C-alpha cells in the first residue's frame, strides 16, 4: 500500500494566534477584483451557469456588479436572484490548492448607481465607457452565507453577520509582495524559521499567506505535504513592520540555542 499523503493538518498549532475566518474572508474579498458568478440557468433548469464577473466589494464586503440586461447571467438573476460568487487568491506559491478561496452566497438585486457607482468605478475604471448604455445597471449580492478555504486544512462556514462586521487585514495589499519575496529570495531562511519556530525539519517550506499576526506555510518532507502556521514575534501593521520582524526571526533562527 502506498504511503504517499497528499495533504493533512500537520502538527497541532492551536496556540498560534491568527485572524478569524471572517477576517480572512473579508481580506480576500477586498483584494480581488474578479470572481466566478454562478446563477440558476433559465435555459437548462436545475443547472448552475458560471460567468466571469468583475466586482467591487463595499464596506460590508458585499460584491457590486455592473452588468447588462442582455447578458445571460442577468437574465438568469431576473428569474431567480439566488447566486454565489467564487473568489480565489492569486497563486503565488506554485500550488493553487494551497491558496485561499471564498464562496459568497445570497440574492442579487439591482441598486441605484448613485449608491454604488463611484465605488465600482474606483475598482474598474474602464466601466465608465458603459455608463451611458441603458441596458447596464448596478447589482449587489446581499450576503446570506460564506464558505472560506484558507489552504490545506483551513476551512469553514462563516455567518453573514460575522463576515459583514470583520475588517480586512492591514497587510492585505502588501501580502502578495511579501509572499513572493520570501519564496523567491529567502527560501533557505524559511527553512530556518520552520525549524526554530515550528520545531520541524523539512525539505521545503513555501509561504502561502501572511497577515498581521503571522503566516501560513506549505511544508514538504519527502512525499508528505502539510500546512503549518507560524506566529510573528509581535503584531505588524504594514510591510515595513513585517520585514523587520521577519529579519528578527531569521536572526533568532540562525543563533545557537534550544529549539
Least confident stretch, 22-26, 156-160, 205-209? 205-209
Distance CA 169, CA 155 (A): 18
Predicted local confidence at residue 150, as pLDDT:
81
Q: What angle do CA 17, 20, 25 make, to 5 degrees?
A: 135
Q: Write down all domains in the chain, each with its CATH number in brackets.
A: 21-165 (2.30.110.10), 175-254 (3.20.180.10)
Q: Given pLDDT bands bounded at 50, 70 and 90, which one contains residue 135? A: very high
> How far, in Å, are 25, 60, 72, 112, 155 from residue 99 at the CA level?
12, 23, 30, 35, 12
119 exposure class (CB count in 10 Å sphere: 0-12, 13-18, 19+) = middle
Across 102-129, average pLDDT: 96
3-state secondary structure 66-116: EEECCCHHHHHHHHCCEEEEEEECCCCCCCHHHCCEEEEEEEEEEECHHHH
> If you average pLDDT over residues 192-218, what whole number do you get?
93
Tracing cell 504594514 back to the chain, one arrives at: 238
Which residue intervals of 80-219 are DSSP H helices? Answer: 113-123, 160-165, 175-185, 187-193
When mean pLDDT is compared across 44-58, 95-109, 203-217, the lowest value belongs to 95-109
How many angstroms separate the CA atoms of 203 and 205, rounded?
A: 7
The pLDDT of 171-182, averaged and rounded, is 92
DSSP state of 162: H
Q: What percent of the chain has pLDDT over 90?
A: 79
pLDDT of 198 over the 70 cut: yes
Does 6 have pLDDT greater than 50? no
Give the model's pLDDT for residue 27. Answer: 94
The position carrying cell 438573476 is 77
Nearest to 13 by CA among 255, 199, 160, 208: 199
Asked if residue 208 has pLDDT above 70, the reply is: yes
141-161 burial, b at 16+ Cβ within 10 Å, e below that, comes to: bbbeebbbbbbbebeeebebe
The rounded distance, in Å, linking the Cα atoms of 117 and 188 is: 47
- The per-residue pLDDT for 180 is 92
Return mean pLDDT, the chain. 90
Of the candidates 90, 109, 110, 108, which has an alpha carbon nearest to the alpha carbon of residue 100?
Answer: 90
Q: Cβ of 114: how many Cβ atoms within 10 Å?
A: 8
Does 121 have pLDDT greater than 50? Answer: yes
Q: Which of 62, 124, 114 is nearest to 87 (CA)?
A: 62
The answer, yes or no, to whether residue 236 has pLDDT greater than 50, is yes
The pLDDT score that the predictor gives to residue 10 is 36
60 Cβ neighbours under 8 A, 6+ residues apart = 143, 164
pLDDT in tens, 97-113: 767 899 999 999 999 99
Label residues 69-102 b or e (16+ Cβ within 10 Å = b).
eebebbbbbeeebebbbebbbeebbeeeebbbbb
Amino acid at each position: 500500500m502506498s504511503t504517499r499523503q497528499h495533504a493533512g493538518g500537520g502538527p497541532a498549532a492551536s496556540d498560534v494566534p491568527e485572524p478569524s475566518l471572517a477576517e480572512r474572508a473579508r481580506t480576500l474579498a477586498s483584494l480581488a477584483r474578479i470572481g466566478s458568478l454562478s446563477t440558476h440557468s433559465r435555459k437548462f433548469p436545475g443547472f448552475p451557469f458560471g460567468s466571469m464577473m468583475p466586482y467591487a466589494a463595499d464596506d460590508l464586503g458585499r460584491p457590486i456588479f455592473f452588468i447588462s440586461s442582455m447578458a445571460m447571467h442577468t437574465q438568469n438573476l431576473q428569474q431567480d436572484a439566488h447566486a454565489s460568487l467564487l473568489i480565489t487568491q492569486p497563486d503565488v506559491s506554485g500550488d493553487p490548492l494551497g491558496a485561499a478561496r471564498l464562496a459568497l452566497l445570497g440574492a442579487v438585486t439591482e441598486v441605484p448607481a448613485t449608491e454604488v457607482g463611484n465605488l465600482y468605478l474606483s475598482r474598474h475604471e474602464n466601466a465608465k465607457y458603459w455608463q451611458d448604455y441603458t441596458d447596464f445597471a448596478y447589482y449587489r449580492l446581499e450576503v446570506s452565507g460564506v464558505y472560506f478555504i484558507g489552504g490545506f486544512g483551513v476551512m469553514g462556514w462563516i455567518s453573514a453577520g460575522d463576515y459583514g462586521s470583520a475588517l480586512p487585514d492591514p497587510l492585505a495589499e502588501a501580502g502578495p509582495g511579501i509572499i513572493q519575496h520570501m519564496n523567491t529570495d529567502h527560501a533557505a531562511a524559511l527553512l530556518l524559521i520552520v525549524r526554530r519556530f515550528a520545531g520541524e525539519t523539512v525539505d521545503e517550506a513555501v509561504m502561502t499567506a501572511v497577515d498581521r499576526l503571522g503566516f501560513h506555510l506549505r511544508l514538504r518532507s519527502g512525499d508528505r505535504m502539510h500546512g503549518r502556521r507560524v506566529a510573528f514575534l509581535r503584531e505588524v501593521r504594514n510591510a515595513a513592520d513585517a520585514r523587520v520582524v521577519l529579519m528578527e526571526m531569521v536572526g533568532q533562527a540562525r543563533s545557537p540555542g534550544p529549539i
